[in-house]
Amino acid sequence: MTKIDNRGYAVPDVLVSTEWVAENLERPDLRIVESNSDPLVYPLGHISGAVEVDWARDLNDQIRRDNVSSQAFASMAERIGITPETTVVFYGDSHNWWATYAYWVFQLFGHSRAKVMDGGRLKWEREGRLLTGVEPEIAATRYPTPQRRDSSMRAFRDEVLAHAEAGLPLVDTRTPLEFNGTRRHMLEYPDEGALRGGHIPGAMSVPAKVSINEDGTFKAADKLRAVYVEEHGLRPQEKVITYCRIGERASHTWFVLSCLLGFSDVRNYDGSWTEWGNLVGVPIER
């Protein structure tokens, strides 16, 4: 069964439609995961059988500023009832930003059986599809502890500095007001604590929202190429780093470039501006 209409994506099966999800909710080899910016959203209503993976609680270490350890990832996977053979479908609020962030973290730990529901909560709700407040009863599974995290998809501050100094492409996925230093966070979000506003020198401003349609779905590949390749000059074989404020919008653009357009070397700098805007001695532009 075709997962979604072919819109010219490099990996079309990485997306599934709301129709496909509705038709496959009872599959035992499938787990639907909701991941939101707001932890109050899931309890108010979610797709039947969907479990919550909270970006702050489940995907980030509670002491260090880092992703969870391999052991913690395995424990979370067991709690939500998946094995390495389970296909995980992510969706969420806020243009699927946190859904793609969760997808990205799962890739770091090698869980390749993963997809994103195109359109997220917005499209599901607009279509009048069922939401429930009942949390599913999930039987715990056994999930082997990943041996390592795949660092090829993640950039760290020293690598970002070297990347910028080499004049390689950096994609700032925040709003224009954040990019020019007028604000350090989006209007509707709390300040995450960066002391300085602005952007990494040489970065191009390509807000994450440019990649989606009004209904929350991703734009077709030709329209995405018009933005990223034709307008901003990114090349699919070039090394690219994306960043935002705390990593979620950057993971969304990482998903677009890597999975939908087939760029071969894209890394998400998830330390993003809350790290860079607090570093001593690094350059900043406004």
Does 244 participate in catalysis according to the annotation?
yes
Amino acid letter at 273? W
| Closest by CA position to 86, among listed 115, 56, 60, 55 | 115
Alpha-carbon distance 21 to 3, whole Å?
Answer: 9
* Set 244, 246, 250, 261: catalytic member: 244
Alpha-carbon distance 55 to 67, whole Å?
Answer: 10
- Burial label, 120 (beta-carbon count in 10 A; 0-12, 13-18, 19+): buried
Contact assessment for residue 253 and residue 217, using Cβ atoms and an 8 Å cutoff: no
Please list, in sequence order, all residues whose beta carbon lies within 8 angstroms of the beta carbon of residue 257, skipping any fewer than 6 positions away: 171, 228, 234, 240, 242, 263, 266
Catalytic residues: 244
